[in-house]
Amino acid sequence: MKFPTVILSVLCFAGCSSASRQTNDVKEVEQDFREVLKWYQKAADQGNAGAQHNLGWMYYDGRGVEQDFKEASKWYQKAAEQGHWESQINLGIAYQGGQGVAKDIINAYIWFTIASSNGSKLAGKYRDNIALYMMTNQIIEAQRTAREMLEINPKLVQKKKSNTIQ
């Protein structure tokens, strides 16, 4: 199901930007985003992690829908649980700032650690940065919980791919 997600992403960003270049009409662009949102919703409801991540981004950024951090975090969570490293990072950021979820630096550290296990160097930097604001016992708890989560749900880590922008 990755192919339709890629097509939808390309159509969204190419179509929306070309519509704004051609007409400079915000309503037309918003209509395009609403159409993309509809298709992402269908794929996300079927369990497609990429669509869930993109749907989360649309709610986070308010593209084609009212901005809703809680809804964004819900979709990031679903994708993160399937090993989508970008959603794992976004979920960590949500916990770090309390956007759509209760502010919780331990959960932020956990999700950054899991995304780092997926090979994301950026997640490791986020994790190390948030550790500067944590007590030693909080770091130990977060590391233990992350290990337990990875043992319980091996889907949290995807097979290694060539991800150069991580």
Q: Say which amino acid occupies 132.
A: L
Rounded mean pLDDT, 13-33: 55
Per residue, the 3-state secondary structure of 49-114, as one string, reads HHHHHHHHHHHHHCCCCCCCHHHHHHHHHHHHCCCCHHHHHHHHHHHHHCCCCCCCHHHHHHHHHH
Q: What confidence tens digit (pLDDT) does each residue in 99-128 have? A: 999 999 999 999 999 999 999 999 999 999
Instruction: Read off the pLDDT band of 27 (50, 70, 90).
Output: low
* Residue 100 burial class via C-beta count within 10 angstroms: exposed 0-12, middle 13-18, buried 19 and up: buried
Q: What percent of the chain has pLDDT over 90?
A: 71
Tally of CA atoms within 13 A in the half-sphere of 155 that contains its CB: 9
Q: What confidence tens digit (pLDDT) does each residue in 71-92 have? A: 999 999 999 999 999 999 999 9
Helix (H) or strand (E) holding 27: helix 26-45
DSSP annotation of 47 reads T
CA distance 64 to 68: 11
Q: Report the SS3 class of residue 123.
A: helix
Task: Read off the pTM.
Answer: 0.80
Q: What angle do CA 150, 156, 160 make, to 5 degrees?
A: 110
